[in-house]
Structure 1
Amino acid sequence: MTNLARILEGRAADRPQVPALHGDDGRSWTFQEVDRLAGGVATALRAEGVGAGDRVACYLTNGPEIVFFLFGAWKIGAVPVTVSSLYNAAELAESLAKTAPRLLLVDDRRPDVIADLLAGGVDADVRAVGGPVAGVPDLAWRQQVAVPAVDVADDAEACILSTGGTTGRPKSVSVTHGGTRASLQRLARVSTGSDAEGTAATDAKVNLIALPLFHSGGQHSLLFAFFVGRPAVVWERFGVDRLAELMDRFAFDNFFFLPTMVFDIVHADRDLPFAGVKSVLVAGQAISWPVRRAFEERYRVPILVNYGSTEAGHIAGWTGRDMKAGRWKPGSAGRVYPGVELEIRDGDGTALPTGAEGEVVVRSELTKGYVDDAEASRELVRDGWVHTGDMGYVDEDGVLFLVGRKRDMIKCGGFQVWPEEIEDELREHPLVRDVRVLGRPDDRLGEIPVALVVRAADDTVADDDLADRIVAFARDRLAHFKTPRRIEFVPALERSSTGKISRVAGEGHG
């Protein structure tokens, strides 16, 4: 049962006529139809000479069709390489060079990018799947065919995902069939009380896959919905107005959002129909307390958190059961999930005792490392333990608290400064709409914290005056070495293709 395609085959067997997949344009497919369309993809890929272990890159607009291509590739043991549809020709070429796919699938949404790619030369065969693309043959995949999934080993490569990192260049992460399935089982166990497949009622509510399917969060959301037996809605991209329309249509009872999505919902002029929504799960980055509080007060819906990563899978979080049992602790990443082996280690790799602060390290079979960076892979996975780069501690109740990213820590005058702590305080200022804190080189102190600030929309205070006010505000709430030494005002904070706010770039004026 290791092959991820067997998740879909299980639902096609136990609920064949139940709607499985919806587009935001009104189209829908049953579990049986999705499985057989995936079979059509599998048949077409085999006709192109693709077999087990071959990589198939997907440069496709986010939407329901990607579901067919993911499962179709998995059925024959091929490896999808999910490339952001927002990449330009140079970024696409770089991704292909890193991952060396046998086949590249494209649609008709970015013909300029495909033309530039072809003009520069590409090693992989290229096929169009969503409409005619100049100079690219079509892939005949739309027939419905029953194709059973092949057997694959637990450690067989299942997919290559981009980390979509917030610092540096994104890396291409290889994840396995067995590790992905184990991560899904852990999440199902804490969410539903059972790690068995198909536990949801056949009339269960639909899940919105809010994140793109080239993102690990989007793929895990889709796989988890099918694992428990829930239908899924896949859309092109997040937008508040589109979200409101889909909420009216499907009456969702839960959501999985990035913090940036919650931020946009909180700052939207319109009210969204959250009646009937039991909880919102947030992951991807830490959500600030002001944004969380504003959302919960406005909509009376609790925000739960799930901590994990593309490389390590689901690690810790809070569930509705935890909230009801009174286990929730403010400011934490959540309880370490049952079955997760986690240690807090110092810089020498020594495991630290309860309450001591160090790097979060997790034993995981999810990733095979980075396909494009052997040195980084050796740093990431050592003796089966994934080094997350997150700094934190575990308390006596097995609850994980995060203090920041190892690489984001600012060393100011010998003191450790965590950007997230400063950001949470500055967001409390009424004239600060959003903020990101960076470390900048300083001859005397080594590094100093600098705050990039997005001003409130109705703010008429002069820049210099507001900068002084913000620094004074920080001094009242933070130790002197944590206070930003400079404020730079920016119109917006730069975000990655997955919605994470970058910690590089973002120059403004101050």
Structure 2
Amino acid sequence: MNTYADIIYRNALLYPQREAFIYGSERITFTEFNARVNRLIYALRSLDVKKGDGIGVLSWNCLEYVDVYGAAMKGGFIVSPFNPRLQANELDHVINYSGVHTLFIGPELIEMAHLLRPRIPNVKHFISLEGPASGMISHLELLNNFPKEEPDIELQEDDPVFIFYTSGTTGAPRGALYDQRRALSDTRTFIIAAGLQPEDKHVQIMPLFHIGGFKTFLGYFCAGGCNVVLKYFDPGVTLKTIQEERATDIHIVPTHLGAFFSIPNYDQYNLSSLKRMLYAASPMPFELLKRGLEVWGPIFIQFYGSSETGPYVTCLRIEDHKVLDKSAEDQNILLSCGRPNFGVHVRIVDDRGEDVELGEVGEIIVQGNTMVEFWKKPEDTREIMREGWVYTGDMGRYDEKGYIYILDRKKDMIISGGENIFPREVEEIFYQHPAVREVAVIGVPDAYWVERVHAVVILKEGACLTSGELIEFCKKRIAKYKVPKSVEFVDSIPKTPSGKILKRELREKYWAGMKKQV
């Protein structure tokens, strides 16, 4: 099995009547999914979409979203999933950068697509995923007009298949390109590390445009398991779905766990079927994780990774979480992100790229199932990939047992509710306001979001402005999850002699006494 095309076809043969996906009242078997994918491949070819061409998706989770991924994996197209939380000026930039000529649109994004249309001239085909839409091709009609027979496919391991979007230090989008071999190797790593079985049933609340959310989803599919897809995350609906479907697995970020506990009588739901609660995307607060262990037992598994390295660099196993009855020192293992997975190599290095001593802090660099390159950005690729190693920008250390502890970020990125936010992008919005003289955006601890975006602002002389007015100003210009949740007005901001803002000093008063500085 060298490509995802092999697995889609194989699963239809091995598990013909087994449910692959559940979405609302729809239940799709592996055989039915293979047929849907075949039809979509033929349909795209009829639109002159060729192997190696880019197709994009702008949607929330839905069954048709999965069809698009399947067509790319089996038909040789390169799929770009776009974040529907972005504003129009952000979306047109990333869509134009991606080079896609065909764009699939979810029902909630139809109006946005019409707004974007004149700004994205390279997109020739707009396809509505759920139902007809003015000026768009209907996804359902496309499928119905083409056969379900196997198409002629010639795929190679080095054929590109996914582009997952992240941001650089400037906030500009960068696409992490994966080929069939690297992506499939990463999927195998996940299946082995998590111990997935064909009998597993996973509730998909993570957005399918995220590399971690999609790759987890893909792992269960490749293992022959079932994915129960929810359009959005709602804590009550999620717990009810686990109970009704007797689900065995769920992938969360820390914010989700906090949301579960915010429900009155959350323990009314029977979650006894759960075998695994996977968590990733941002650090899990120590006390929140301990509460989860007290309520549901040691069913937790942590993964650490990124868009550039792949999401499964390290794993903190279920066995590692069995520490509630042990000493405080033993419980500190919960502060780690686990040990490197099979086939993944992790080093901790200094600024010269040389290994630090055991226990010393340095930058985490990774070799394994990483991206091929940044799409159309050779200089950015050379910056992060050196001699086969991906430099993550995360600062950490090894302990004597081989566990890795992430202590800080070399870069200033904020992770709030599992979303990556780059301060400079937010700062640039603040600088558009005529009353702002200087601003520094940092991440500060938050019980719900883990980190929240906080802005430290110096106003121009004579200016009068409230924090609420600044927040409203931002809401009109960037995605809501990037908007600061708090604003602090100051007279001065600490800087180095060269004029660089000392964000570490700004963060210190908020993070003092915390076990982690991320």
Q: Report the TM range for the smaller structure's normalisation.
A: 0.7 to 0.9
Report if aligned partners of 1:438, 1:449 keep a CA contact under 8 Å in 2: no
Alpha-carbon offset, residue 235 of structure 1: 1.5
SS in 2 for 1:171: strand
Alpha-carbon separation, structure 1, partners of 2:300 and 2:210 = 21
1:281 aligns with 2:278: yes
1:208 aligns with 2:226: no
Report if aligned partners of 1:6, 1:149 keep a CA contact under 8 Å in 2: no
Alpha-carbon offset, residue 6 of structure 1: 2.1
Paired letter, 2:494: D
Tell me what 2:431 maps to.
none
Alpha-carbon separation, structure 2, partners of 1:216 and 1:379 = 21
1:19 aligns with 2:19: yes
Tell me what 2:190 maps to.
187
Alpha-carbon offset, residue 399 of structure 1: 1.2
Tell me what 1:496 maps to.
none
Alpha-carbon separation, structure 1, partners of 2:235 and 2:505 = 31
Q: What is the CA RMSD across the aligned residues, in angstroms? A: 3.3
Tell me what 1:44 maps to.
43
Tell me what 1:249 maps to.
244
Report if aligned partners of 1:256, 1:281 keep a CA contact under 8 Å in 2: yes
Q: Calculate percent identity across the aligned residue pairs.
A: 23
Cα deviation digits, residues 379-438 of structure 1 (max 9, x gap): 12122211111111122222111112111399xxxxxxxx99x84xx86xxxx9965486
Tell me what 2:108 maps to.
109
Paired letter, 1:320: I
Alpha-carbon separation, structure 2, partners of 1:137 and 1:295 = 46
Cα deviation digits, residues 132-165 of structure 1 (max 9, x gap): 2222233543236132573433332111112378
SS in 1 for 2:197: coil
Alpha-carbon separation, structure 2, partners of 1:347 and 1:405 = 14
Tell me what 1:153 maps to.
156
Alpha-carbon separation, structure 2, partners of 1:115 and 1:242 = 32
Alpha-carbon separation, structure 2, partners of 1:373 and 1:433 = 32
Report if aligned partners of 2:284, 2:450 keep a CA contact under 8 Å in 1: no
Alpha-carbon offset, residue 290 of structure 1: 2.3
Alpha-carbon offset, residue 32 of structure 1: 0.3
SS in 1 for 2:137: coil
Alpha-carbon offset, residue 81 of structure 1: 0.8
Tell me what 1:442 maps to.
494
Report if aligned partners of 2:205, 2:231 keep a CA contact under 8 Å in 1: no
SS in 2 for 1:168: coil
Aligned length in residues: 439
Alpha-carbon offset, residue 122 of structure 1: 2.0
Cα distance, 1:158–1:152 mapped onto 2, change above 3 Å: same
Q: How do residues 346-385 of structure 1 correspond to structure 2 at under 5 angstroms? A: 346-385=350-389
What are the ranges of 5 or more consecutive residues in structure 2 without an aligned counterpart?
Answer: 415-441, 457-492
Paired letter, 1:348: R
- Alignment equivalent of 2:399, drawn from 395, 413, 416: 395
Cα distance, 1:200–1:372 mapped onto 2, change above 3 Å: same
Tell me what 2:232 maps to.
237
Q: How do residues 88-107 of structure 1 correspond to structure 2 at under 5 angstroms? A: 88-107=87-106
Tell me what 2:255 maps to.
260
Alpha-carbon separation, structure 2, partners of 1:324 and 1:108 = 44
SS in 2 for 1:182: helix
Report if aligned partners of 1:108, 1:128 keep a CA contact under 8 Å in 2: no
Cα distance, 1:168–1:266 mapped onto 2, change above 3 Å: farther
Alpha-carbon separation, structure 1, partners of 2:91 and 2:46 = 25
Paired letter, 2:150: V
Paired letter, 1:211: M
Q: How do residues 162-173 of structure 1 correspond to structure 2 at under 5 angstroms? A: 162-163=165-166, 168-173=171-176
SS in 2 for 1:163: strand
Cα distance, 1:439–1:315 mapped onto 2, change above 3 Å: farther
Alpha-carbon separation, structure 1, partners of 2:110 and 2:293 = 43
Alpha-carbon separation, structure 2, partners of 1:79 and 1:167 = 25
Alpha-carbon separation, structure 1, partners of 2:96 and 2:202 = 35
Paired letter, 1:447: L
Tell me what 1:34 maps to.
33
Alpha-carbon separation, structure 2, partners of 1:277 and 1:121 = 44
Tell me what 1:142 maps to.
143
Report if aligned partners of 1:279, 1:302 keep a CA contact under 8 Å in 2: yes
1:226 aligns with 2:229: no
Report if aligned partners of 2:72, 2:161 keep a CA contact under 8 Å in 1: no
Report if aligned partners of 1:7, 1:227 keep a CA contact under 8 Å in 2: yes
Paired letter, 1:134: S
SS in 2 for 1:375: helix
Tell me what 1:508 maps to.
none
Report if aligned partners of 1:108, 1:132 keep a CA contact under 8 Å in 2: no
Report if aligned partners of 1:176, 1:365 keep a CA contact under 8 Å in 2: no
Alpha-carbon separation, structure 1, partners of 2:449 and 2:181 = 43
Report if aligned partners of 2:58, 2:109 keep a CA contact under 8 Å in 1: no
SS in 2 for 1:36: helix
Alpha-carbon separation, structure 1, partners of 2:11 and 2:372 = 28
Cα distance, 1:138–1:188 mapped onto 2, change above 3 Å: closer
Tell me what 2:181 maps to.
178
SS in 1 for 2:67: helix
Identify the range of structure 1 (259-268 vs 112-121) with the bigger mean alpha-carbon deviation. Answer: 112-121
Report if aligned partners of 1:394, 1:400 keep a CA contact under 8 Å in 2: yes
Alpha-carbon separation, structure 2, partners of 1:79 and 1:59 = 15
Report if aligned partners of 1:35, 1:146 keep a CA contact under 8 Å in 2: no
Paired letter, 1:388: T
- Alignment equivalent of 1:304, drawn from 301, 304, 326: 301
Paired letter, 2:52: G
Cα deviation digits, residues 44-79 of structure 1 (max 9, x gap): 011111111110011233211111111112222111
Paired letter, 1:185: R
Cα distance, 1:437–1:59 mapped onto 2, change above 3 Å: closer
Cα distance, 1:150–1:409 mapped onto 2, change above 3 Å: closer
Report if aligned partners of 2:16, 2:31 keep a CA contact under 8 Å in 1: yes
Alpha-carbon separation, structure 2, partners of 1:214 and 1:114 = 17
What are the ranges of 5 or more consecutive residues in structure 1 without an aligned counterpart?
Answer: 193-198, 411-418, 453-469, 484-502, 504-510
Cα distance, 1:148–1:366 mapped onto 2, change above 3 Å: farther
Alpha-carbon separation, structure 1, partners of 2:193 and 2:98 = 34
Cα distance, 1:62–1:3 mapped onto 2, change above 3 Å: same
Tell me what 2:287 maps to.
290
Report if aligned partners of 2:176, 2:373 keep a CA contact under 8 Å in 1: yes
TM-score, structure 2 normalization: 0.76
TM-score, structure 1 normalization: 0.78
Alpha-carbon separation, structure 2, partners of 1:341 and 1:257 = 25
Paired letter, 2:390: V
Report if aligned partners of 1:266, 1:291 keep a CA contact under 8 Å in 2: no
Alpha-carbon separation, structure 2, partners of 1:183 and 1:361 = 17
Report if aligned partners of 2:316, 2:339 keep a CA contact under 8 Å in 1: yes
